[in-house]
Amino acid sequence: MATPIAPPAAFGLVSGTAYASTSPEALEEILDHLDLGSLEQENFRLERAIQQLVQSNKEIAEFIEQERQEQEQEQEQARASGKESQSPGFKPDPEFVQAIEENKEVIAKYERVCAQLMKAISKKRGEERMDEQLEEDVVEECTVAQCGDRGGEQEGDQDGVFL
């Protein structure tokens, strides 16, 4: 059976723009109303987004480093040929630096949400286990009630004791 998925509005409350101003307590309340499948799906989505942001930061940092090395080589070549380089020291593109910082902020936010999602997932899984155990107990009680208390013996038993 397919796991039901929460409506898109519910996901928007978890990780969309609405979350930006949601307190941890309010988010916890929202998560309590989502089913286990939706929580797991959202956690997976955010974990993947975190991986992509980390990869993006890595690639931007590598690009900045490559630009720095190229500028250093140009300055060394200029000095070797007797020309004075008029270029100032290396300064990375401010947009790249800003992108890295913004990604770090989003990563931190998503990690906080993932921590809350994992807490909600654990809680829901615990509730499911309790429900399953309760169901097993009820089935066991019904079986004992139907069979009666015959000392653990079953009809047709010759030598065995069944518990």
Return the pLDDT at 115.
92
Residue 25 domain-assigned (yes or no): yes
For residue 102, the enclosing domain spans: 8-61+93-144
Return the pLDDT at 13.
47
Residue 51 domain-assigned (yes or no): yes
Return the pLDDT at 28.
84
Residue 85 domain-assigned (yes or no): no
Return the pLDDT at 82.
79
Residue 30 domain-assigned (yes or no): yes
User: Which of 19, 38, 26, 41 has its CA nearest to residue 106?
Assistant: 19
Residue 159 domain-assigned (yes or no): no
Return the pLDDT at 2.
47
Phi, psi dihedrals of residue 18, rounded to the nearest 5°: -65, -30
Flag whether pLDDT at 149 surpasses 60. no
Residue 160 domain-assigned (yes or no): no
Residue 87: alpha-carbon gap to chain centroid: 45
What is the residue-averaged pLDDT of the chain? 78
Structure tokens at 136: 């097993």
Residue 86 domain-assigned (yes or no): no
Flag whether pLDDT at 124 surpasses 70. yes
- pLDDT tier for residue 25 given thresholds of 50, 70 and 90: confident
Q: Using one digit for the tens of pLDDT, what is the confidence trace for 35-87?
A: 999 999 999 999 999 999 999 999 999 999 999 999 999 888 888 887 776 66
Flag whether pLDDT at 8 surpasses 50. no
Flag whether pLDDT at 101 surpasses 70. yes
How many distinct structural domains can be found in the chain?
1
Residue 132 domain-assigned (yes or no): yes
